[in-house]
Amino acid sequence: MSVQSTGARGASFAARPAWVMLAALCSAFMLSHAYRTAAAMMAGRMQADFSLTPQQLGSYAGAFHFAFGAMQLFVGLAIDLHGVRRTMLATFPLAVVGALVSALAHSYPLVVLGQVLIGVGCSAAFLVCTVFITRYFAPERFASVSGIVLGIGGGGMLLTATPLAWVVQEVSWRAGFLVLAALSALAWLLIFVVVRESPLQQPRQRESLGAAVRGMARLMALPYTIGIMALGAVTYAAFMSLRGLWLGPLLVERYGYTLVESGNVALLVSVVSIMGPPLFGRFGPQGKGRRRWIVSCTFALVGLFVAMALAPNAGAVLACSLLVGFLSGFIVLQYADVRASYPIALTGRAMSLLNMAMFLGVALVQWLSGAVASLAHASSWHADIYSAALGLIAATLVLGVIAFVCLPAPD
């Protein structure tokens, strides 16, 4: 089971199973997923209230991910210095503050500020779960337990599907942020009450910020790091740009869905996406076979985004969206690939670097897709903005997988 029961100092800790504490940490991870996908249901009403262009909408959605990604180095250092519990308790209140700022905002800059605060507040949510798994579960269980955690965390997307769509449609998008703020406060309280760390599992060596930066630089100097991070920057970004930004507006504006109907589709996509990580984590291959799966699944995503860009009807978009949701579960194999590619002493830092690449990638892809959509709308051909955005996402996936395949691989 877990590995936390050595000696008298760990006795009180052992009375609280690792799974229970991991579940408490997952509550914040679920809310992190809810925040990063809320824009898909709020975008239309927010766009109308603030007269936003598609590019501004992409920048708004990307602000969370930019803040989240930029914080990964500091979060990793904080976990090393202060542990999982303290890091989470110190950062997550900013998500509550950011949600309240967003709910009360009366200008575009303020809602972007709210997204930045939420991104900083949620920045530790997944990394604390990953580090906790590394410290309290056997190495051979990393992929399977991580897959379960990713699946549970993805449950937060259920909140921002039909439930959030109903709140936005019947009340307002501001009420949606108030609900998320209240749930975040409850998650913080749960972590405060439930999570404890054994002194035996606290890191023995502490390092300065400068040493942490130099450690990251050493990782980046390894010949295979760039390829791993290049693909990491686009795979999760593709799914999040669809589910977290474009899916709702696409269904409402191109196919005439109501907001709640588009929320129902988002709910289906979210449910399917929750199934993917545990299955890929449990049945995915090891060694070189794992990398072949990663490449194959990425090319499959390329095909699905191209199909959605050219889709003749809503049914085709629905089918492709469901497949994208499920296939995106292979991202757990990317984490397992990092776990296997670096020495154990560098694993936490490498995970932090992958998180940084993934979330900065989401910010970049959402911004770029918004920029391309704005250009398409302003062009003399009056091209479909959603085809342009989805085509841009497919192109980034192609570039990422080329880097992954062509750059050196781990020995």
Structure tokens at 75: 């979060």
Reported pTM: 0.78
Angstrom distance (rounded) from CA 302 to CA 234: 11
Where helices occur in 205-255 by DSSP H, the ranges are 209-221, 225-241, 247-249, 255
Give, in order, the Cα–Cα distances in Å from 24 to each of 30, 70, 153, 298. Answer: 10, 25, 11, 32
Q: CB of 281 within 8 A of CB of 332?
A: yes
Q: Would you state the pLDDT for residue 57?
A: 84
- CB distance 127 to 355 below 8 Å: yes
pLDDT the model gives residue 201: 52
Q: Give mean pLDDT in consecutive 10-residue pieces for the chain, a chain of 411 residues.
A: 42 66 95 89 87 85 89 83 90 97 94 96 92 82 83 87 90 94 97 81 58 76 91 95 89 90 91 89 82 96 96 91 95 88 75 87 90 81 85 97 93 75
Helix orientation angle between 314-327 and 287-309, rounded to the nearest 10 degrees: 160
Q: What 3-state class would DSSP assign to 2? A: strand
pLDDT of residue 26: 95
Q: Which two tokens stand for residue 276?
A: 């993917």
Name the DSSP class of 197. Answer: -
- Cα 229-232-238 angle, rounded to 5 deg: 145
d(CA 336, CA 288): 12
CA-based angle 335:337:342, to the nearest 5?
100
How far apart are the C-alpha atoms of 98 and 104, rounded to whole Å?
A: 10
- Residue 381 confidence (pLDDT): 62
What H or E segment, with its residue span, contains residue 3?
A: none
